[in-house]
Chain A
Amino acid sequence: MEIIDKKELAPGIVQFLVDAPLIAKKAEPGHFIILRHKENGERIPLTIADFDREQGTITLVCQGIGKSTKEINQMKKGDAFLDLLGPLGTPYPINKLGTVICVAGGLGVAPLYPKAKALHQAGNRVLSLIGAQRKEMLIMTEEMAAVSDEVRYSTDDGSFGHHGFVTALLQQALSEEKVSEIVAVGPVPMMAATVKVAKEFNVPIVVSLNALMIDGTGMCGGCRVTVGGKTKFCCVDGPAFDGALVNFEELLLRQRYYHEQEKEACHRCRLEEAGK
Chain B
Amino acid sequence: MQARGGGKMRQQMPKQDPEIRWRNFDEVALGFTVEQAQAEADRCLKCKKPMCVQGCPVEIEIPNFIALLAAGQPEAALAKIKEKNSLPAICGRVCPQENQCEKLCVLGKKGEPIAIGALERYCADWGRKEETEAKSTPQETAAKGKVAVVGSGPAGLTAAADLSLMGYKVTLFESLHAPGGVLRYGIPEFRLPKAIVDYEVGNLVKMGVEIKKSCLIGQTLTIDDLFSQDYQAVFIGTGAGLPHFLGIPGENLNSVYSANEFLTRVNLMKAYLFPEYDTPIRIGKRVAVIGAGNVAMDSARTALRLGAEKVIIVYRRSREEMPARLEEIENAEEEGVVFHLLTNPLQLLGDESGNVKTMVCQQMSLGEPDASGRRRPVPILDSEVSFPVDTVVVAIGQGPNPILLKGTAGLNLNKWGYIEVDPETLMTSIPGVFAGGDIVTGAATVIAAMGAGKKAARAIGNYLASKK
Contact = CB atoms under 8 A, between A and B. Distances in A.
Interface of A: 22-23, 26, 36, 40-43, 67-68, 82-88, 214-215, 217-222, 224-226, 231, 233, 236, 250, 253-254, 256-258, 260-262, 264-265, 268
B108 interface: no
B220 A85 contact: yes
Contact of B241 (A85, A214, A219, A258): A219
Interface of B: 175-177, 185, 213-216, 219-221, 240-243, 245, 247, 251-255, 257-258, 260-261, 264-265, 268-270, 274-280, 282, 353-354, 401-403
Contacts of A250: 252, 354
A236 B401 CA distance: 9
A217 B177 CA distance: 12
5 contacts: A217-B403, A221-B243, A231-B251, A256-B353, A260-B282
B280 A219 contact: no
A264 B275 CA distance: 8
A220 B260 contact: yes
Given A83-B177, A253-B254, A253-B354, 6 more contacts: A22-B221, A40-B277, A222-B257, A256-B354, A257-B282, A265-B278
Contacts of A220: 243, 258, 260-261, 264
B389 to A, nearest CB: 16
A80 B279 CA distance: 20
B438 to A, nearest CB: 11
Nearest to A254: B254
Contact of B219 (A26, A219, A260): A26
A221 B267 CA distance: 16
**Secondary structure call for the B interface:** loop
B261 A82 contact: no
Contacts of B354: 250, 253-254, 256
A221 B258 contact: yes
Contacts of B403: 217-218, 236
Nearest to B245: A231
A55 B240 CA distance: 36
Contact of B402 (A215, A236, A262): A236
B219 A254 contact: no
A40 B270 contact: yes
B282 A215 contact: no
Contacts of B274: 261, 265
Contacts of B254: 253-254, 257
A265 B271 CA distance: 12
B269 A214 contact: yes
Contacts of A253: 253-254, 353-354
Contacts, number: 121
Contacts of B220: 22-23, 26, 85-87
B281 to A, nearest CB: 8
Give the most central of B185, B219, B258, B402: most A CB within 10 Å: B219
Nearest to B181: A219
Give the most central of A83, A253, A254: most B CB within 10 Å: A253
Given A215-B264, A236-B402, A261 B280 contact: yes
Given A84-B214, A224-B252, A254-B254, A218 B242 contact: yes
A200 B106 CA distance: 75
Nearest to B353: A253
A217 B279 CA distance: 18
Give the most central of B278, B353, B403: most A CB within 10 Å: B278
Nearest to B221: A22
B401 A219 contact: yes
A224 B243 CA distance: 10
Given A84-B214, A217-B216, A219-B260, A258 B282 contact: yes
Contact of A85 (B175, B243, B255, B275): B175
B261 A218 contact: no
Contact of B242 (A233, A256, A257, A258): A233
B241 A83 contact: no
Contacts of A217: 175-176, 216, 401, 403
B278 A41 contact: yes
Given A22-B220, A26-B220, A214-B264, A42 B269 contact: yes
A43 B219 contact: no
Nearest to B352: A253
Contacts of B221: 22, 26
A268 B216 contact: no
A40 B272 CA distance: 12
B219 A88 contact: yes
Contacts of B269: 42-43, 214
A268 B275 contact: yes
Contacts of B216: 85-86, 88, 217
A104 to B, nearest CB: 26
Contacts of A218: 241-242, 401-403
Give the most central of A26, A218, A264: most B CB within 10 Å: A218
Nearest to B213: A83
The 8 closest A-B pairs by CB, nearest first: A253-B354, A261-B280, A221-B258, A220-B261, A221-B243, A83-B177, A85-B214, A222-B261
A224 to B, nearest CB: 6
Nearest to B280: A261
B347 to A, nearest CB: 15
A1 to B, nearest CB: 9
Contacts of A268: 275
B177 A43 contact: yes
A214 B177 contact: no
Nearest to A66: B278
A215 B175 contact: yes
Contacts of B276: 40
A111 to B, nearest CB: 18
B252 A226 contact: yes
Contacts of B247: 231
A231 B251 CA distance: 9
A257 B356 CA distance: 12
Nearest to A31: B219
B243 A231 contact: no
A57 to B, nearest CB: 16
Contacts of B401: 217-219
B402 A261 contact: no
